[in-house]
């Protein structure tokens, strides 16, 4: 009986989703007016390729499309789905033009995109902030909550999205969308025995709670999008840009990018980077497209390799932030900041993360362009309690100063001013390194035979307890990376556990290199090289009696054999 009910539910879900799939109007759709105004589609190409399935209402709106907004990656995912499942045929050039057009008219405002920028920058977050546990079950059980948070939809479209999931992925009805079966209770769900039907419960199912949440938090019409549409302007990015970059394990880089226009919203860029730690020089040649007036998506050639670039330019087009990344799992990358050069003095970055109270004569280097000449120590300001004792060297592109920090200087992040030019939050002041932090958990992937390895770069970050003197509170001050010693310990989960001997190796700089995928005849039972271990960082601050220690629960698992949609919205 239970099997029959499940099969019947599956068929009903599949039929509902097929009837409401993208490209097939829902029953009665032609007869009723949408509850919310749509966003007209202006591109002749989009209409030519999409209107065969997405009906034009005579006012420029296409069903489904006109009631959705998302990122360039989101539109590319949709196009791939239309090609795979609904028979859409496109040339690569047509696909790029459609993504570009829909991103222009049905995109996200910068403020809407920023909270989910990590998702498209391929950052490996340790955990994601979720509105509540119900959304964890309904949505985040299968994908990051950043996926739906990358969309804005009308209420009807959010409802249709749930139906699409039921049709394409019917298992969600029993694993995520509804509460588990309960003795004496109803509902479909996970892992419990069948129970006799009971009276309906007034409680909402998880998918109903999720739909309510997204309908309110991510509506189609928002003040942010209206304001961006009113104030946005063409991307005029040609010129010279100062680059400040940080690569975990490698430290800070300083450089310059020269951007040239290559077509409407298309650009090329030549970049040089220099490591402040080793002096290593790196050159990059990039091609990029700017979507929605601010979102840079590019591909760079670096030596014989390719790297991706995802950045967001500021409203005034004077700066940009983002990530340039590469690797089998996009695990390597720079955090980058660009600042426009040539329009006056600019301070781009400093070589110093933090300064300790009570120290004297510490050398700090500032990098920029157009810096005034003939500066005196009084022209450079690190805030109360920090005195610029002398200027060791100065030029239009850099300053080297020596600073004294009072013993009673207030801890916290400080802006650095060179006359009226400011580098916000540039340096932290601290009394002591009170604790170090590494991720609570992390993951790497075996590889090297048929799949790429998934490396992991560890870093130990130093922290001050802040003004309240308590660790792990809101006023704690990040001091930057510390030079830790790295080791691994067994995470004992069963008798004879020997994972640390096989999962891989830890380098002196914190880079973990996983072993090859197995099976491995040297392991007991010839199993793979997967396992879980502790990664331990140990650091002894200057003058401290005891070392500071941080441990990470580290999983080394099998390759990712199946990859879901991989957006590549770049040149």
Give me the DSSP letters along 78-113: HHHHHHHHH-----HHHHHHHHHHHHHHS---HHHH
Q: What is the pLDDT of residue 34?
A: 72
Cα four-point dihedral sign 61, 65, 71, 76: negative
For residue 17, pLDDT over 80 is answered with no
**What is the reported pLDDT for 141?**
86
Identify the CATH number of the domain in which residue 516 sits.
2.60.40.10
* Residue 23 lies inside a defined structural domain of this protein: yes
Find, among 431, 246, 422, the residue nearest to 325 by Cα: 246
Q: Give the residue, 481 or 524, on which the prediction is more confident.
A: 481
User: In the listed set 173, 196, 228, which residue is the last one of a domain according to the structure?
Assistant: 228
User: Residue 190: which domain range?
Assistant: 2-228
Going by C-beta distance under 8 Å and a sequence separation of 6 or more, which residues neighbour residue 16? 163, 166, 167
Are 312 and 355 within one domain? no
Q: How many Cβ atoms sit within 10 Å of the Cβ of residue 45?
A: 15
Given pLDDT bands bounded at 50, 70 and 90, which one contains residue 32? low
Q: What is the pLDDT of residue 367?
A: 97
Q: What's the rounded Cα separation, in Å, for the pair 531 and 529?
A: 7
Domain presence at residue 417: yes
**Which tens digits make up the pLDDT trace of 260-287?**
999 999 999 999 999 999 999 999 999 9
Question: Given its phi and psi angles, is residue 249 left (phi above 0), alpha (psi -120 to 50 degrees) or beta?
Answer: left
386 and 353 share a domain?
A: yes
Task: Among 406, 430, 454, identify where a domain stops.
Answer: 430
Same domain, residue pair 443 and 417: no
Mean pLDDT across the chain: 90
Q: Residue 539: which residues within 8 A CB-CB, separation 6 or more?
A: 433, 436, 460, 462, 482, 483, 484, 485, 547, 548, 549
Mean pLDDT of all residues in 408-414 = 96
pLDDT tens for residues 54-65? 999 999 999 999
Instruction: Give the integer Cα–Cα distance in Å for 237 and 360.
Output: 42
Both tokens of 183, joined, read 């003795």
Question: Is the predicted pLDDT of residue 31 greater than 80, yes or no?
Answer: no
The length of the chain, given as a count of residues: 571
Measured over the CA atoms of residue 68, residue 237, residue 306 and residue 325, the dihedral's sign is: negative
| Cα distances (angstroms) measured from residue 274 to each of 250, 403, 517, 539 | 11, 25, 35, 28
Domain finish residue from 164, 199, 228: 228
The neighbour count for residue 283, using CB atoms within 10 Å, is 13
Is residue 234 in a domain?
A: no
Q: What is the pLDDT of residue 494?
A: 83
Average pLDDT of span 388-399: 96
Question: Tell me: the pLDDT tens digits for 123-136?
Answer: 988 888 888 888 98
515 shares a domain with 549? yes
Give yes or no: residues 251 and 117 share one domain.
no
The Cα–Cα gap between 248 and 458 comes to 8
Token pair recorded at residue 391: 């200027």
What is the mean predicted confidence (pLDDT) over 14-34? 48
- Tens digits of residue pLDDT in 332-387: 999 999 999 998 999 999 999 999 999 999 999 999 999 998 999 999 999 999 99
Indicate if 188 and 314 belong to the same structural domain: no
Q: Is residue 83 part of a domain?
A: yes
- Per-residue pLDDT tens over the stretch 187-236: 443 333 333 333 444 578 999 999 999 999 999 999 999 999 999 999 99
Give the number of domains in the chain: 4
Domain assignment present for residue 332? The answer is yes
Looking at the predicted structure, is the pLDDT value of residue 18 above 60?
A: no
pLDDT band at 568 (very low <50, low <70, confident <90, very high): confident
Q: Is residue 12 scored above 90 in pLDDT? A: no
Strand bridging mode 295-302 / 281-291:
antiparallel
In this prediction the pTM is 0.89
125 within some domain: yes
Q: Beta strand pairing status for 332-340 and 511-514?
A: unpaired
In a domain, 350, yes or no: yes
Tokens representing residue 133 in the block: 């546990």
* Inter-residue contact 81 to 53 (CB < 8 Å): no
| CA dist., res. 138 & res. 172, Å (int) | 8
* Least reliable range by pLDDT among 25-29, 30-34, 177-181, 512-516: 25-29
Model confidence pLDDT, tens digit, residues 117-170: 999 999 988 888 888 888 988 999 889 999 999 999 999 999 999 999 999 889
d(CA 370, CA 100): 36
CATH number for the domain spanning 333: value is: 2.40.128.120
**Whether residue 100 is found in the same domain as residue 195:** yes
Helix (H) or strand (E) holding 38: none
Cis peptide before 519 (omega within 30 of 0): yes
Pair (64, 8) in one structural domain: yes
Q: How far is residue 251's CA from residue 220's CA, in Å, rounded to a whole number? A: 41
Strands 421-430 and 354-356: parallel
557 DSSP β-pair partners: 445
Domain shared by 50 and 145, yes or no? yes
Q: What gap in Å lies between CA 348 and CA 508, rounded to an integer?
A: 30
Three-state DSSP at 185 gives coil
Model pLDDT, residue 571: 61
Same domain, 325 and 352: no
Q: Domain check: are 154 and 36 in the same one?
A: yes
Q: Are residues 303 and 181 in the same domain?
A: no
Q: Are 364 and 351 in contact (CB under 8 A)?
A: yes
What are the phi and psi torsion angles at 264 (to 5°)? -60, 115
Are residues 379 and 280 in contact, defined by beta-carbon separation less than 8 angstroms?
no
Residue 37 counted as domain residue: yes
pLDDT exceeds 80 at position 416: yes
């Amino acid at each position: 009986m239970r099997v029959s009910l499940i099969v019947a539910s599956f068929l009903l879900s599949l039929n509902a989703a097929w009837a409401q799939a993208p490209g097939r109007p829902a029953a009665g759709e032609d007869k009723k007016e949408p509850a919310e105004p749509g966003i007209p589609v202006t591109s002749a190409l989009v209409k030519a390729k999409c209107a065969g399935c997405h009906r034009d209402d005579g006012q420029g709106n296409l069903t489904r499309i006109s009631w959705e907004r998302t990122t360039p990656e989101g539109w590319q995912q949709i196009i791939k789905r239309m090609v795979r499942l609904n028979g859409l045929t496109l040339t690569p050039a047509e696909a790029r033009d459609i993504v570009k057009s829909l991103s222009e008219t049905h995109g996200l405002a910068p403020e809407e995109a920023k909270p989910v920028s990590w998702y498209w920058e391929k950052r490996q977050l340790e955990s994601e902030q979720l509105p509540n546990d119900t959304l964890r079950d309904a949505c985040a059980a299968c994908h990051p909550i950043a996926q739906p948070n990358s969309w804005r939809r009308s209420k009807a479209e959010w409802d249709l999205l749930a139906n699409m999931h039921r049709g394409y992925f019917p298992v969600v009805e029993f694993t995520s969308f509804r509460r588990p079966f309960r003795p004496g209770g109803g509902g479909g769900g996970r892992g419990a025995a069948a129970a006799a039907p009971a009276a309906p419960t007034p409680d909402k199912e998880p998918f109903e709670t999720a739909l309510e949440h997204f309908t309110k938090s991510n509506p189609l019409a928002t003040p942010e999008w209206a304001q961006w549409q009113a104030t946005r302007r063409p991307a005029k990015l040609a010129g010279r840009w100062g680059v400040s970059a940080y690569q975990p394990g490698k430290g800070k880089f300083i450089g310059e990018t020269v951007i040239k226009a290559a077509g409407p919203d298309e650009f090329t860029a030549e970049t040089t980077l220099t490591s402040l730690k080793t002096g290593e020089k790196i050159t990059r040649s990039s091609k990029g497209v700017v979507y929605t007036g601010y979102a840079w998506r590019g591909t760079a050639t670096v030596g014989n390799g390719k790297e991706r670039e995802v950045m967001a330019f500021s409203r005034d087009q004077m700066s940009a932030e983002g990530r340039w990344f590469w690797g089998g799992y996009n695990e390597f990358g720079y955090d980058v900041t660009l600042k426009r050069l040539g329009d006056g003095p600019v301070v781009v970055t400093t070589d110093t993360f933090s300064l300790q109270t009570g120290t004297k004569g510490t050398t700090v280097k500032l990098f920029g362009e157009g810096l005034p000449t003939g500066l005196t120590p009084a022209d450079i300001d690190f805030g109360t309690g920090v005195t610029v004792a002398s200027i060791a060297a100065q030029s239009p592109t850099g300053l080297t100063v020596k600073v004294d920090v009072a013993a009673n200087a207030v801890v916290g992040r400080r802006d650095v001013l060179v006359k009226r030019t400011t580098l916000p939050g540039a340096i932290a002041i601290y009394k002591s390194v009170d604790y170090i932090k590494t991720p609570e958990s992390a993951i790497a992937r075996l590889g090297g035979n048929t799949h790429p390895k998934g490396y992991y770069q560890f870093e130990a970050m130093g922290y001050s307890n802040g003004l309240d003197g308590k660790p792990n509170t809101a006023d704690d001050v990040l001091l930057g990376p510390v030079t830790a010693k790295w080791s691994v310990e067994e995470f004992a989960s069963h008798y004879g556990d020997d994972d640390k001997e096989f999962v891989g190796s830890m380098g002196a700089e914190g880079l973990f290199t996983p072993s090859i995928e197995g099976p491995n005849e040297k392991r007991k039972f010839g199993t793979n090289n997967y396992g879980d271990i502790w990664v331990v960082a140990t650091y002894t601050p200057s003058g401290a009696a005891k070392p500071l220690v941080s441990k990470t629960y580290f999983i080394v698992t099998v390759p990712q054999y199946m990859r879901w949609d991989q957006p590549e919205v770049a040149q």
